[in-house]
């Protein structure tokens, strides 16, 4: 804290400073993050933050952190349920690869196979829109292979991805393509578009995409296969909940202003989404058979002092630099997919459930694909295959207690303060 090997020591940001992160967005790209890690010394974050090129942003901000006075709800959930202090992104990557790893454990399989800064050797390393989404703008890609949605469809398991702003705000006049124009104002007073294409991973696979953002035919059909193809607006989740029709597996993604993503969102807006959602879920009759996992797509580039274990090596001289220019990120076996250097940064992860261990910190090594494996194992779906990280992912089961009748008690919080009601 007072003798850090970065160019600045870590420093606390208080609640009044949460607005800062709505303007300043540290770099969190595949190569820059590797350089920040500096072979495990974790000492090059300031010079690789990219903040010096952003107006009124101090490069040292990357060393800032919020504590329980600001992320108060997360603090309280951690004390009443279970959290991990050894959970990592599957790759050293930004948002889209993180989303892909949660649903497939796989960032390889992109078409086209090379696009500077976004796709390398068939592997996604950047944030780039989907071919199968009307709301995509600019250069686009698609993904081959399977995801967890395909496995659940094969077994008839109800599921859905629910995202803020997915419902179209209109359609184009010439070809009836969906327009994703709904927006909300964040804590800084900025108008932020709700929907982000590269935050919706199922839209990259032809088998699970809903290109025109079609609505489900009814609340009773949410989770089942119809025109929506399991891709929904957040409002569809609550319509299904009101109808007593929650899918077995639901992925909830906030509107952009409530994601906590720097540059657009902040801890206060994020807290509102989390608390409102969790308060409502705890009131449902299905709560006694529910588990919530709070997870993040990447580190946002922020400093963390813990270096991840490297379980996937890569030696692409154009993009890898974790261990320096010549050592790259180790050397991948000849048959392994390149540009999947990982694990990446340590990320927050909490489980909230009647079955969660109370005030428990799990030290097991886990990653984003551990969530994928949890779903696979619970419904006997098998594995994705094709070098998916699910095959080597650590288990989340140590965070739960299914053997006693002493359930974790409900916890209702204030969405603005994060304090108990």
At 5 the pLDDT is: 96
In a domain, 6, yes or no: no
pLDDT tier at 164, thresholds 50, 70, 90: very high
96 in a domain, yes or no?
yes
Query: How confident is the model over 175-204, as pLDDT tens digits?
Result: 889 999 999 999 999 999 999 999 999 999
Q: According to the model, what pLDDT value does residue 318 have?
A: 96
Question: Would you state the torsion angle of the CA atoms of residues 298, 299, 300, 301, taken in this order, to the nearest 10 degrees?
Answer: -130
> Does 417 fall in a domain?
no
Q: Which whole number is the average pLDDT over 51-69? A: 94
Mean pLDDT, range 249-273, rounded to an integer: 97
Domain CATH for 154: 3.40.720.10
How far apart CA 226 and CA 216 sit, in angstroms, is: 7
Banded model confidence at residue 421, pLDDT cuts 50, 70, 90: confident
pLDDT of residue 1: 79
Q: How many percent of the chain have pLDDT more than 70?
A: 100
Say what the pLDDT of residue 403 is: 83
**Which whole-number Å values give the CA distances from 73 to 3, 65, 270, 294, 414, in the listed order?**
30, 16, 10, 12, 8
pLDDT at 406 over 80: no
pLDDT digits (tens, 9 = 90+) for 112-124: 999 999 999 999 9
Residue 347 lies in a domain: yes
> Which residue range is the domain that position 377 belongs to?
11-399
Residue 147 belongs to some domain of the structure: yes
Buried/exposed 7-40: b ≥16 CB within 10 Å, e otherwise: ebebeebebeebebbbbbbbbbbbbbbbbbbbbe
Q: With 80 as the cut, is the pLDDT of residue 404 above it?
A: no
**Residue 56 included in any domain:** yes
In this structure, is residue 186 part of a structural domain? yes
Report yes or no on 87 lying in a domain. yes
Residue 106's nearest CA partner among 388, 421, 412 is 388
Question: What's the token pair of residue 310?
Answer: 């490297």
**Number of structural domains, the chain?**
1
229 pLDDT band, cuts 50/70/90, is very high
pLDDT at 385: 97
> Any idea what DSSP says for residue 355?
T
| Residue-level pLDDT at 340 | 98
């Amino acid at each position: 804290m007072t003798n850090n090997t970065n160019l600045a020591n870590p420093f606390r940001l208080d609640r009044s400073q949460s607005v800062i992160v709505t303007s300043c967005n540290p770099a969190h790209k595949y190569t820059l993050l590797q350089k920040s890690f500096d072979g495990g010394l974790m000492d090059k974050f300031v010079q690789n933050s990219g903040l010096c090129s952003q107006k009124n942003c101090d490069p040292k901000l990357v060393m800032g952190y919020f504590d329980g006075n600001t992320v108060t709800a997360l603090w309280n959930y951690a004390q009443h349920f279970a959290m991990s202090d050894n959970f990592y992104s599957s790759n050293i990557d930004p948002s889209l690869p993180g989303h892909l790893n949660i649903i497939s454990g796989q960032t390889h399989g992109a078409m086209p196979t090379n696009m500077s800064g976004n796709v390398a050797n068939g592997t996604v390393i950047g944030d780039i829109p989907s071919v199968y989404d009307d709301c995509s703008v600019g250069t686009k890609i698609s993904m081959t292979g399977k995801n967890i949605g395909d496995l659940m469809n094969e077994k008839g398991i109800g599921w859905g991805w629910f995202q803020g702003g997915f419902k179209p705000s209109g359609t184009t006049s010439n070809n009836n393509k969906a327009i994703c124009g709904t927006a909300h104002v964040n804590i800084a007073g900025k108008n932020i578009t709700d929907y982000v294409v590269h935050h919706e991973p199922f839209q990259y696979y032809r088998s699970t995409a809903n290109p025109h953002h079609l609505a489900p035919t009814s609340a009773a059909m949410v989770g089942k296969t119809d025109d929506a193809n399991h891709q929904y607006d957040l409002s569809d989740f609550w319509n299904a909940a009101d109808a007593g029709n929650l899918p077995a597996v639901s992925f909830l993604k906030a509107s952009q202003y409530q994601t906590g993503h720097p540059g657009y969102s902040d801890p206060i807006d994020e807290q509102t989404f989390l608390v409102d959602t969790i308060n409502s879920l705890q009131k449902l009759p299905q709560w006694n058979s529910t588990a919530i996992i709070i997870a993040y797509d990447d580190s946002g580039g922020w400093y963390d002092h813990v270096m991840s274990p490297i379980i996937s090596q890569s030696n692409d001289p154009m993009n890898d630099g974790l261990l320096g220019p010549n050592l790259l990120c180790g050397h991948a076996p000849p048959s392994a997919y390149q540009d999947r250097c990982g694990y990446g940064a340590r990320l927050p992860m909490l489980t909230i459930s009647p079955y969660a261990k109370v005030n428990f910190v799990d030290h097991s090594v886990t990653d984003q694909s551990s969530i994928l494996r949890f779903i696979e194992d619970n419904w006997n779906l098998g594995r994705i295959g094709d070098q998916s990280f699910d095959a080597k992912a650590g288990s989340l089961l140590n965070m739960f207690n299914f053997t006693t009748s002493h359930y974790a008690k409900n916890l209702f919080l204030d969405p603005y303060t994060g304090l108990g009601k």
